[in-house]
């Protein structure tokens, strides 16, 4: 991949990440996993790290994916690409448009964007679920193993913990890591 | 992140007052991009025009750039290690759990009516089952929002009483 392609890919992703920073995940999944540049596992490893470190997950992911593609220059180019569309859009709105957020068309489309973003983030859940927790291919070949059941238990456990305590994602990641080393 | 933005932008530097900042949040959520970045860009533009926009946005982005690049360098090196490999199989389970919780939380806030259910389930179906390109799904989502809610607004005003306050 060359620099220009990487830049334009991330401009595309940055442009269509509407309705929440996590909405960048399905766009990136489509662009990099469906096309075979990254494996599903690699992608979600990056998601884990991006969630645990400072900074918006969208920016972290852009930097990470850019790095994986073209090392240090890629990290910079991808990150710049990601913010360029919003930089331009917001600059123009801040300079020239008043009451942008009050316009009814804007508000109704935003409701639509926010709601569809939930469905799209759910698709990101689906892709990690079927690969890392309930791997259908693996079950077809080897049957349901103790690892599969443990994965479900750990998943539910961490989910309940996160839901109840709203703890830092890094804690959930750490618990997952320990479970991974000792249980799986 | 938002409370911190408030503290810095409103209280420490006085670049916006609180009400203006809330408007900026609304704008930031209504446009492409990540809200934190958008807020930075907006405040930067208001302060120093285009250069301000670039400066503010760069400021938001540079820490992530540095931290992630450092981590990514090590990640490449340790990926092959057996324990790291096993750890990450567990880490992916954690990611799944957290994303489920997040999705449920977002759904509760965003899906408040039937139109919401249609849009959310439609987006999932189009992306996973139909395998429609995501940008198209996003576009459909925004378009649906405009259509559904414009129709609803029209219907509400049609049903409103014709007799106005002047006619007593």
- Structural element, H or E, at residue A29: none
Separation between Cα atoms, residue B24 and residue B39, nearest integer Å: 6
Give the model confidence (pLDDT) of A110-120 as tens digits. 999 999 999 99
Residue B168: per-residue pLDDT: 47
Contacts of B142 in chain A (CB under 8 A): 18, 109-110, 112-113, 116
Chain A residues with CB under 8 Å of B29 CB are 19, 110, 114
Any long-range contacts for A32-36 (C-beta under 8 Å, 24+ apart)?
Answer: A32/A65, A33/A127
Q: What is the dihedral of CA A75, A81, A82, A85, to 10 degrees?
A: 170
Q: From the CB of residue A120, how many other CB atoms can be counted at a distance below 10 Å? A: 33
Q: Shortest CB distance from B145 goes to which of A112, A122, A172? A: A112
Q: Do the Cβ atoms of A120 and B124 come within 8 Å? A: yes
Total residue length of chain B: 168
Contact criterion met (CB < 8 Å) for A121 and B106: yes
Tokens of A40: 């599903």
Q: Do the beta carbons of residue A26 and residue A126 sit within 8 Å? A: no
Per-residue pLDDT of chain A (184 residues; tens, 9 = 90+): 899 999 999 999 999 999 778 999 999 999 999 888 999 999 999 999 999 998 999 999 999 999 999 999 999 999 999 999 999 999 999 888 888 888 899 899 999 999 999 999 999 999 999 989 888 888 888 888 888 899 999 999 999 999 999 999 999 999 999 999 998 7
- Chain B partners within 8 Å of A93 (Cβ): 27, 31, 42
pLDDT mean for each 10 residues of chain B (168 residues): 80 82 83 89 92 95 95 90 92 95 93 93 96 95 94 84 58
What count of other Cβ atoms lies within 10 Å of the Cβ of residue A140? Answer: 8
- How confident is the model at residue A64, as a pLDDT? 96
Cα A41 from chain centroid? Answer: 13
Instruction: Please report the sign of the dihedral spanned by the C-alpha atoms of residue A15, residue A18, residue A20, residue A22.
Output: negative
Q: Which two tokens stand for residue B28?
A: 């930031």
CA distances to A49, A131, B89, B91 from A61, rounded to whole Å, are: 9, 20, 19, 16
Q: What is the ipTM of this complex?
A: 0.91
Whether residue A91 lies within 8 A of chain B, CB to CB, comes out as: yes
Rounded distance between C-alpha atoms, residue A17 and residue A14, angstroms: 5
Question: Which residue among A72, A154, A173 sits closest to B69, beta carbon to beta carbon?
Answer: A72
DSSP alpha helix (H) spans, chain B: 2-6, 18-29, 35-78, 82-110, 114-128, 134-159
| pTM reported for the whole predicted model | 0.89
């Amino acid at each position: 991949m060359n620099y220009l392609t990487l830049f334009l890919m991330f401009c595309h992703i940055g442009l269509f990440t509407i309705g929440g920073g996590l909405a960048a995940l399905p766009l990136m999944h489509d662009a990099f996993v469906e096309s075979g540049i990254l494996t599903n596992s690699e992608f979600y490893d990056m998601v884990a790290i991006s969630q645990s470190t400072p900074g918006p997950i969208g920016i972290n992911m852009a930097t990470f994916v850019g790095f994986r593609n073209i090392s240090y220059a890629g990290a910079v180019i991808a990150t710049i690409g990601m913010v360029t569309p919003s930089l331009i859009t917001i600059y123009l709105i801040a300079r020239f448009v008043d009451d942008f957020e009050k316009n009814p068309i804007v508000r109704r489309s935003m409701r639509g964007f926010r709601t569809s973003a939930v469905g799209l983030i759910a698709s990101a859940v689906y892709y990690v679920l079927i690969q890392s927790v309930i791997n259908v291919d693996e079950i077809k070949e080897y049957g349901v193993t103790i690892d599969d059941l443990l994965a479900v238990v750990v998943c539910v456990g961490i989910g309940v913990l996160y839901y109840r305590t709203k703890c830092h994602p890094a804690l959930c990641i750490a618990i997952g890591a320990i479970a991974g080393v000792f249980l799986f | 992140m938002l409370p911190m933005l408030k503290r810095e932008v409103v209280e420490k530097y006085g670049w916006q007052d609180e009400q203006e900042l809330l408007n900026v949040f609304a704008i930031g959520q209504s446009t492409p991009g990540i809200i934190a970045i958008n807020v930075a860009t907006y405040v930067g533009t208001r302060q120093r025009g285009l250069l301000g926009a670039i400066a503010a946005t760069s400021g938001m982005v540079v820490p992530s750039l540095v931290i992630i690049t450092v981590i990514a360098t090590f990640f490449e090196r340790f990926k092959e290690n057996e324990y790291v490999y096993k750890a990450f199989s567990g880490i992916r389970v954690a990611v799944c759990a957290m994303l489920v919780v997040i999705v449920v939380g977002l759904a509760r806030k965003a899906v408040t009516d039937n139109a919401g259910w249609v849009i959310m389930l439609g987006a999932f179906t189009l992306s996973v089952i139909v395998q429609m390109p995501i940008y198209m799904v996003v576009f459909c989502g925004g378009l649906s929002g405009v259509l559904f809610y414009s129709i609803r607004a029209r219907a509400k005003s049609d049903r409103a009483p014709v007799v106005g306050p002047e006619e007593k």
